[in-house]
Amino acid sequence: MNIHYLAQRLLRRPTCSLAEGAKLYRTARISNKSGDDSRIRIGNNSVVLGELWTFASGGRIQIGEWCYVGAGTRIWSGVNIMIGDRVLISHNVNIFDSLTHPVNARGRHDQFRAILTSGHPKKIDLGEQAVTIGADAWIGANSIILRGVTVGTGGIVGAGSVVTKDVPAYTIVAGNPARPIRELTPSERD
């Protein structure tokens, strides 16, 4: 079991909801600033080695069944990140459903000061837009999925890609910005 998770539970700090067979490995980190365990849900038999983070201003992360979240991966939510069943998210992936900081310089400075002095602000506009990753998707190492993106069922994101637009179902995308490479054949969809 993950020592960080156990320590947070002993200190009565919010963590996450773990379904039967779900595992947090030693490298996993849960930072639930929203204050509600149900805001981060990890489905049956899923494995998390990365970081799951909800902001104090909101956020929800739902990971389906039989998913994998690799080491060094960061999934940060200010509104909603939904990950379907059987999704593989490789190492060092970043998934953000917000800008993470205000766009204007004064707003960024005010947010930074608040974080240092009183914690993450509970009210802040970070341009939140939900992210959805459909069932059976595969997100390659070192990729970035940005706010408002939907990766369709069976979609594949090539390693090192920056995804700024929706990925159609059963399509491989790659590059910066990510562009369609090809559709999966019928036999590759099983």
Q: For the chain, what are the domain ranges?
A: 3-183
Q: Is 91 a catalytic residue?
A: no
| pLDDT tens track for 148-166 | 999 999 999 999 999 999 9
Tell me which of 4, 91, 101, 120 is the catalytic residue.
101
pLDDT score, position 13: 61
pLDDT score, position 112: 85
**H, E, C per residue of the chain:** CCHHHHHHHHCCCCCCEECCCCEECCCCEEEECCCCHHHEEECCCCEECCEEEEECCECCEEECCCCEECCCCEEEECCCEEECCCCEECCCCEEECCCCCCCCHHHHHHHHHHHHHHCCCCCCCCCCCCEEECCCCEECCCCEECCCCEECCCCEECCCCEECCCECCCEEEECCCCEEEEECCHHHHC
pLDDT score, position 9: 65
pLDDT score, position 103: 84
What is the CATH architecture assignment of 3-183? 3 Solenoid (2.160)
Whether pTM exceeds 0.85: yes
pLDDT score, position 134: 98
pLDDT score, position 14: 59
| Residues of the chain below pLDDT 50 | none
